[in-house]
Amino acid sequence: MSSKKIPLYKQLKQIIIKKIERGELKPGDVLPPERELAELFEMSRVTVRQAISELVNEYVLVRRHGSGTYVAENKIPHGKKLKSFSEDMSLRGMMPGSKICEKNIITNPSANMAAELRSAGNLLILKRLRLADLEPLAIETSMLPINRFPGIEDRDFQNESLYQILEDEYNIKIIKAQQKIEVGMPTPQESELLQINYTTPVFRLRQVTFDQNDTIIEIAHSVYRGDRYNIETEIYR
């Protein structure tokens, strides 16, 4: 089989996701019962449940006790969708823009904030000033394990979307991101770049982005102008 080293439950997750992507499973459809899946894929029911549980946590599936497991109806709500800056701006009806501030390769990620990427080898540091309707809106610093994306350092990040490049040309499936949102005041440098007063508070957003194998593909630290940006989200009990 296609085993290699990928855990069985992750393989099953991928199979289910693929079926949904290909339209073989549509929102509202029932999955086969857990016992049946177990037999079909020759794994134990516990393993099937582990795969399903994670997909439920990711809002892909919904369990109904005594009834069955279903493909989630209302996909991920708007506020729970991971968007690139460009996509985010477009949805808000603003024109996205970029200005490269810094593009470096760090060969020794030691005392960095990138603790999670420390083992990843060299890092590409990309610091961009982000514009909305030609006005500064955010400063975005991305860190990528460059070994996984050979040649990416030569791309034109001024006009290309980072996510677009990763998805289209490196065949990465971006799945999810964890975000930590803080408030703060801008440093003098930041207030100058963002063209705001030093009394204007900012969002500080730390993001860790994962692909389909739960591998970290990016760590980003963004500073958003508090006077021009807000965050909408939806949470469940």
Partner DNA sequence: AAGTGGTCTAGACCACCGA
Partner DNA sequence: CGGTGGTCTAGACCACTTC
Determine which helix (DSSP H) or strand (DSSP E) holds 177, and give its type and residue range: strand 174-184
156/164 Cα distance (integer angstroms): 12
Q: Which does 9 bind (CB under 5 to 8 A by kind): DNA, a copy of itself, none?
A: DNA
Cα(165)–Cα(130) distance, integer angstroms: 18
Q: Mark 107-146 with x for binding to DNA (rule: CB under 7 A) and - for no binding.
A: ----------------------------------------
Q: Which is nearer to a copy of itself, 8 or 177 (CB)?
A: 177
Based on the shown chain and the rule CB under 7 A, indicate whether residue 63 belongs to the binding site for DNA. yes
| Residue 232 contact, options a copy of itself, DNA, none, Cβ 5-8 Å cut-off depending on partner type | a copy of itself
The CA dihedral of 57, 235, 29, 41, to the nearest 10 degrees, is 0
Phi, psi torsion values for 48, nearest 5 degrees: -60, -45
Q: What is the DSSP letter of 44?
A: -
The two tokens of residue 138 are 């955010």
Contact between 72 and DNA by CB under 7 A: the answer reads: no
In the complex, least distance from residue 28 CB atom to DNA, rounded to whole angstroms = 13
Cα angle for residues 156, 212, 164 (degrees, 5° grid): 20
Residue 171, binding choice from DNA, a copy of itself, none, Cβ under 5 to 8 Å by partner class? none
Contact range with DNA by CB under 7 A, out of 14-22, 30-38, 99-107, 150-158: 30-38
CA torsion sign for 45, 65, 54, 172 is positive
Looking at beta carbons only, is 41 or 203 nearer to DNA?
A: 41
Q: Cβ 40 to DNA, closest distance in Å? A: 12
For the CB of residue 26, give the shortest distance to DNA in the complex, in Å: 17
Distance of closest approach, residue 235 Cβ to a copy of itself, in angstroms: 4
Query: What does 185-203 look like in DSSP terms, one character per residue?
Result: ---HHHHHHHT--TTS-EE
Where do contacts with DNA occur on this chain (CB under 7 A)? Answer: 5, 7-10, 31, 33-36, 42-47, 49-50, 63-69
